[in-house]
Copies of this chain bind each other. A is one copy, B any other.
Amino acid sequence: MKPILVVFSGGQDSTTCLMKAIAERGAENVHTLTFAYGQRHALEVKLAEEIAKEQGVASHKTITVDWYREITHNALMDETTPIGREAGAPFPNTFVEGRNALFLLTAAIYAKSKGILDLMIGVSDADYSGYPDCREAFIRSMNETLNLAMDCRFTVYAPLQHMTKAQEWALADRLGCLEYIRTRTLTCYEGIPGDGCGKCPSCKLRAAGLAEYLSTKEPKE
């Protein structure tokens, strides 16, 4: 089995990716990389480390990008800015400029040094807020740029690319980890793990997806 590096935040999306990678390749071939980039909740980074450890991954690393706040501004990295969408703005003010590009580039540099050419990231363009770096066109272009930059053949896997939240919950269920992801991961903008605050856009999206999936699920005998 070829090793793979998962860009891992400890949220629903990247934990679903992690569980998929482990199911397919075995935990001994799965590595995780987490970024502390000034996001609102330091708990996110700690939780990612805990989940990686619980799942027995081959290695886990955290990189601190302490200058991210210095070069851009958004509500995710500034607790004094209320989360929302300004009039006429193309996407909500939680968008962190260049984040997925920075994550994938750093992951690729690190992976290559470990002899790993497969990367996985939990982006999705369905159900989401129109973040440009969650689109398939970006992921493909990024993959090509990484190959050109480092003269090798990376493969960027984005298994959630076209999945709605309901489909993600279905995948988690098939992987046997729906309850684990429901209770253990952190997606809430208020920093509350599991079902979260229930009020922020992220919690609402997560809860609606879960309700949708559960409503369509065949009742067990």
Contacts and interface: CB of A to CB of B under 8 A. Distances in A.
Interface of A: 63-65, 67, 70-73, 90-91, 97-98, 100-102, 105-106, 108-110, 112-113, 132-133, 135, 137-138, 141-142, 144-146, 148-151
Contact of A150 (B98, B106, B146): B98
Contact of A145 (B65, B70, B101): B101
A97 B138 contact: no
Nearest to A132: B151
Contacts of A97: 109, 112-113, 150
Contacts of A73: 113
Contacts of A109: 71-72, 97-98, 102
The quantity of this chain's copies bound in the complex is: 2
A142 to B, nearest CB: 5
Interface centre among A97, A101, A142, A150 (most CB of B within 10 A): A101
Contacts of A105: 98, 101-102, 105
B98 A108 contact: yes
Contacts of A113: 71-73, 97
Given A98-B150, A149-B101, A151-B132, A106 B71 contact: yes
Nearest to A136: B148
Contacts of A150: 97-98, 132-133
